[in-house]
Amino acid sequence: MNHALLNIVGSSNIITDPSLMTDYSHDETSVEQYASYPDVVVFPENSEQISAILKYANEHLIPVTPRGGGTGLSGGAIPVKGGIVLSLEKMNRIIEIDEANMTVTVEAGVITNDINKAVAQHGLYFAGYPMSLQSCFIGGNIAENAGGGKAIKYGVTGRYVLGLEVVLPTGEIINLGGKLVKDVAGYDLKSLIVGSEGTLGVVSTVTLKLLPIPKATAVLSALFEDVAAAIAAVPKIMINTGIIPTGLEYMDRQSVEASCSFLDEKLPVKESEAMLLIELDGSDEDRLEDEYPKIGDVCEENGAFEVFVADNAATRERIWKVRRSIPEALRTSHPEQSAEDIVVPISCIPRMIPFLKGIEKKYDTDIPCFGHAGDGNLHLHLMKNKEHSQEEWIALQKAALDEIYGFVTELGGSITGEHGIGLKRKKYFSEHLSQPELTLMKKIKQAFDPNNIMNPGKIFD
Ligand SMILES: Cc1cc2nc3c(=O)[nH]c(=O)nc-3n(C[C@H](O)[C@H](O)[C@H](O)COP(=O)(O)OP(=O)(O)OC[C@H]3O[C@@H](n4cnc5c(N)ncnc54)[C@H](O)[C@@H]3O)c2cc1C
């Protein structure tokens, strides 16, 4: 196998020594629990090489796991069945910025934040804003249909995907969509690839819709003594003001403290138990100055004891950085944990925090909680305490997750809002879906990938 792959990608684009493969044996889910090594890692430089690799793998029934930045939180990029890890990191070219059509075309291995750096000088802006944007790749964002901190106003990644070049598991290269804003010719295969977690094909090139850079931005941080009051204020902020913020993030005290200590940052959070980060943007400063006091008032009427406004870029970035760094900070302070990503209808979000407080007490565990509350999407990290033995911890996770997912389903929610099923949630996915849905999904998988070589062992068996 290695000889054939070496002939395709060249000796500088292949790793065959297992001692150099550690980085490719895991993503950002808990390393010990899920890590698995591939037989070989390859770094194709173009779509033709991807095609040749997949043709070879398909012929010899070798598993292939596509890999972006490896920031995934569901084990999607872990090569559980060994075989080939196909890393997109060398396909990181910005191919075209098309001002007239407001699009950018890039290779799948471009770091998400680099897209905005490249298009900013043209007055344009890509609205995707996953909190990992400085290290994840756009191909990974498409494979996970990533959300993030601005999805409440701008939607998730898929909304901006106009065109995709995809290499199928059988080696054919197909082009889906292009620069069209509208296109209803036949089944929407492009949308099927978005969120398919690397199980249907390899995304090689992407054309994204861009927006004009907003002229004005402000960030409010609202401090609450009561966590339930903070989360209950979330839907009211939108309903009572009629304003849809760009971001509406919730962070409890434990999450903020962990992140501030990790960053050596001091936010003026006083005695607050919870904080809301609310970002507004728009086409003019005056309108924003009219909007943010209205939002501040609703926060205060609903329990905020203080509201700060950050209207300069440096302070805004300080607050967002604290929010973005929470997952890493919590993983550093508690390496053994289970990071969850539940989502419920926005109207049900006030019921989640009291429920989670009950779970914390019942199972004697800490569950720091933060996330994109404006979308109904919360990240909860179940923590292993020092007192828990390994057996207790495993039993606790299972029992607590059964209850949490059960409650989320009862509320009409889902077990993942943006991190995907991957390996981590496979067991729960089959329980969450109806049998006809599952059967249909398996038939789709078989139509794309008859030999089951693309990222096997993910989503479902
Ligand atoms: C600190 C932190 C913050 C995060 N914040 C957010 C957030 O706000 N919103 C959010 O949605 N997620 C978030 N995530 C999760 C993660 O960053 C996203 O899921 C991201 O989209 C993964 O991109 P990646 O390039 O790292 O993909 P990887 O982890 O490398 O891969 C993820 C999946 O995509 C597949 N894949 C990767 N590239 C391709 C390709 N070119 N073609 C086909 N399949 C491919 C892989 O096989 C795998 O199944 C966060 C993660 C961290 C660590």
Please determine, for residue 304, whether its predicted confidence score (pLDDT) is greater than 90: yes
Long-range pairs, 297-302, Cβ under 8 A, ≥24 = 298/233, 298/236, 298/237, 298/240, 298/241, 299/220, 299/222, 299/233, 299/237, 300/222, 302/229, 302/232, 302/233, 302/236
Ligand 1 atom index nearest CA of 372: 8
Please determine, for residue 31, whether its predicted confidence score (pLDDT) is greater than 70: no
Q: How confident is the model at residue 413 (pLDDT cuts 50, 70, 90)?
A: very high
In degrees rounded to 5, what are phi and psi of residue 88?
-90, 10
Given its phi and psi angles, is residue 72 left (phi above 0), alpha (psi -120 to 50 degrees) or beta? beta
* 6-10, 99-103, 155-159, 280-284: the lowest-pLDDT one: 280-284
Ligand 1 atom index nearest CA of 109: 41
How far is the C-alpha of 217 from the C-alpha of 278, rounded, in Å? 11
Ligand 1 centre distance from Cα of residue 75 (Å): 10
Please determine, for residue 402, whether its predicted confidence score (pLDDT) is greater than 70: yes
382 close to 394: Cβ distance less than 8 angstroms: no
Please determine, for residue 269, whether its predicted confidence score (pLDDT) is greater than 90: no
Among protein residues, the one whose CA lies closest to atom 11 of ligand 1: 146
Instruction: Provide the pLDDT for residue 431.
Output: 87
223 close to 270: Cβ distance less than 8 angstroms: yes
Instruction: Name beta bridge partners: 383.
Output: 337
pLDDT one-digit tens code per residue, 423-433: 999 999 988 88
Q: Average of pLDDT values for 375-402? A: 92
Q: Average of pLDDT values for 54-80? A: 98
Amino acid symbol at 112: T
Please determine, for residue 33, whether its predicted confidence score (pLDDT) is greater than 80: no
**Pocket around ligand 1: residues whose beta carbon is below 6 Å from it?**
27-28, 65-73, 76-77, 88, 108, 130-132, 136-137, 139-141, 143-144, 146-148, 197-198, 202-203, 327-328, 418-419, 422, 455
The DSSP element (H or E) to which 433 belongs, if any, is none
Ligand 1 atom index nearest CA of 203: 42
Q: Average of pLDDT values for 334-359? A: 93
Opening angle at CA 355, ends 350 and 357, nearest 5: 110
Ligand 1 centre distance from Cα of residue 197 (Å): 9
pLDDT one-digit tens code per residue, 136-146: 999 999 999 99
Q: Look up residue 454 and give its DSSP letter.
A: B
pLDDT one-digit tens code per residue, 360-380: 999 999 999 999 999 999 999
The pTM is what? Answer: 0.95
Instruction: Provide the pLDDT for residue 351.
Output: 93
Ligand 1 centre distance from Cα of residue 328 (Å): 15
Mutate-to-test residue for ligand 1 from 31, 34, 71, highest number of ligand atoms within 8 A of CB:
71
Ligand 1 atom index nearest CA of 71: 26
Average pLDDT, the chain: 95
The encoded tokens of residue 151 equal 């999805």
How far is the C-alpha of 390 from the C-alpha of 71, rounded, in Å? 26
How far is the C-alpha of 292 from the C-alpha of 260, rounded, in Å? 25
Ligand 1 centre distance from Cα of residue 200 (Å): 16
Q: How confident is the model at residue 461 (pLDDT cuts 50, 70, 90)?
A: confident
30 close to 75: Cβ distance less than 8 angstroms: no
